Amino acid sequence: MTQVTSTFDGTGDIFAVDGSGNLFRYHAPNYYGSQRTQIGTSWNTMSQIVGVGNTTGSGSDDIIAVDASTGILYRYTGPNYYGSQKVQIGTSWNTMTNLAAIPGNGTTDLLATNISTQNLYRYTGPNYSGSTATQVGNGW
């Protein structure tokens, strides 16, 4: 598996991308291969993947991902995470690293580090636009 992130909704499920770009959900509380479900393909084009819980009210976990070549930030709403399910919610995210989901005010927020300045920013969900960014640290 090349990228792994857990959901942020308290269930403890894990999303992982294998070397072929297939996206799998490993269901809690045991994470054996026999309990995984393939939920997407072509995820090897994404540089960062973060489970953010149910930010859209769909009843399923959402995933935030950055396209490695374009820097576009996408939100995928579950339960199926194929390309037709994605919505562009940001640009220039290839300048950010260390994406992490944290509790927000009624939704999940993102933390991200600017690669060039090493400043840490908090982006308020569910849309995570630059206008919601607040610097919360430096030297990261």
Specify whether domain 3-137 bears CATH 2.60.40. no
**Cβ proximity of 86 and 97 under 8 Å:** no
What are the sequence ranges of the domains in the chain?
A: 3-137
Mean pLDDT for 99-113 is 86
14-25: per-residue pLDDT in tens?
788 888 999 888
For residue 134, pLDDT over 50 is answered with yes
Residues near 87 by Cβ (< 8 Å), separated by ≥ 6?
A: 74, 75, 76, 77
**Between the ranges 3-17, 78-92, 107-121, where is the mean pLDDT highest?**
107-121
- Provide the pLDDT for residue 62: 84
Which residues lie closer than 8 Å to 76 by C-beta, 6 or more apart? 40, 62, 63, 64, 65, 85, 86, 87
Mean pLDDT of 92-121: 90
Residue 74 — very low, low, confident or very high, per pLDDT cuts 50/70/90? Answer: very high
